Structure 1
C-alpha cells in the first residue's frame, strides 16, 4: 500500500514525526508533499521559517519517508494522489472532513494531532521569549 500526506513541516517537531511514522505504518511506501514557500504564504499569510529546500531535506532524511516532492498547489491534490498511485491519504485531524472528496480515488484517514505541540505555538513562544 502506498500512503501520501501533505504539510508545510516548518519548525519540525515531534508532532510531525508522529504523524509521518503512523502514516508509514499503514503501508509499505510513504510519499510526502511539502508545501512550497509560495503555497505557504498563500495558506498562512507568511513565509515559512525554514526554506522549502531545507524543509524538503529534513523530511527526506527521515527513515520512514520514501519519497518527497514539492506541493505547489492545493488544487492539485487529486493529481498528486493519482501521480504517485497512493492508496491512502493521511492528514491531521485539524483537517477532518476537508479531504473527503478524494475518497473516490483513495482511502482517506485523519490522525489526531499530538497534544500540546504545534508549529504556530513554537513560533509564538520563541517570538515572545527572545530578548531584544
Structure 2
C-alpha cells in the first residue's frame, strides 16, 4: 500500500496542548505528516499582529516534534492547493473552526476537519498573559 501523506497548516504561535493534540490526531490519519507554518507576513495579514515567536523559531518548534515528518513556510492562504499537490498530500487536516472553507480542494485530496481542544486558544493565552503584565 502506498504511503499516505497528511498535510496541515497553522501559525503555531505560543505552542500549547491544543497544537499537540491536533498534530497527533492529524498524524494518525496517515503515514507521513507535513506541516505548513504560516509566514510572519501571512500572520500579520491574517491577524493584524506579528507572532510572538518568529517563523524560524516556530518552524524549529514544529520540526522537533516526533509526529512531524516535514515542515515548510506557508506564504499564502490562496496557495493551499499548490502546497497539497507539491507535497503529495492525500489528506488535508484543518481545525473545525475552518469547517467547509477548504472543501474546494476536495478534488485533489480528502479534507478532514478536526475538533479544536475546548478552552485552549493562542489568542486567549496571549490576552491572558498580557492582562497579567
For the aligned pair, the TM-score class normalised by the smaller chain equals: over 0.9
> Which residue of the other structure, out of 6, 11, 32, is the alignment partner of 2:9?
6
Alignment of 1:39 onto 2:42 = yes
The runs of at least 4 aligned residues of structure 1 exceeding 3 Å deviation read none
Query: TM-score of the superposition, structure 1-length normalised?
Result: 0.98
Q: Name the structure 2 match of 1:121.
A: 124
Q: Name the structure 1 match of 2:60.
A: 57
Alignment of 1:76 onto 2:75 = no
Question: In the TM superposition, what is the alpha-carbon distance from 1:8 to its structure 2 partner?
Answer: 0.2
Question: In the TM superposition, what is the alpha-carbon distance from 1:109 to its structure 2 partner?
Answer: 0.2
Q: Distance in 2 between matches of 1:43 and 1:18?
A: 23
* Alignment length (residue pairs): 130
Question: In the TM superposition, what is the alpha-carbon distance from 1:22 to its structure 2 partner?
Answer: 0.3
Structure 1: where are the runs of 5+ without partners? none
Query: TM-score of the superposition, structure 2-length normalised?
Result: 0.97
